[in-house]
Amino acid sequence: MAKGYWVSVYPAVSDPEGLAAYDELAGPAVQAGGGRTLSRIPSRGGRVVAHEAGITQRVVLVEFDSFEQAVAAYESEAYQNALVALPDGVERDFRIVDGMH
């Protein structure tokens, strides 16, 4: 079975404190849903090189054992509660994608 992934790109963050509050709730919700954070750039000393229309702002990649598990984790009560904390001062492009079979 192919894995599922959450891909989050943050083109603009004007409320870093609000984003930190979201992170406090989202991290445990992701783990409870079976997710493993593979990358969180540029925080925690990670490096990024952007090409073409790429941006160097925050990018988060989370892996799940299946696409269905990734969708279920997003729809979970715990993660929906985390989304309430995501401030208006954060622009985010979020996708759930299917891994290669």
Distance, in Å, from the CA atom of 80 to the CA atom of 68, rounded to the nearest integer, reads: 17
Residue 24, CB half-sphere, CA atoms under 13 Å: how many?
Answer: 8
The b-or-e profile of 32-69 (16+ CB within 10 A means b, else e) is ebbbeeeebeeeeeeeeeeeeeeeeebbbebbbeebeb
CATH at 34: 3.30.70.100
Tell me the residue range of the domain where 60 lies: 4-98
Instruction: Quote the number of domains for the chain.
Output: 1
Distance, in Å, from the CA atom of 79 to the CA atom of 81, rounded to the nearest integer, reads: 5
Q: What is the pLDDT of residues 42-76, one digit of tens each?
A: 765 677 788 888 778 888 999 999 999 999 999 99
78 pLDDT band (50/70/90 cuts)?
Answer: very high
Is 84 strand, coil or helix?
A: helix
Is the pTM higher than 0.75? The answer reads yes
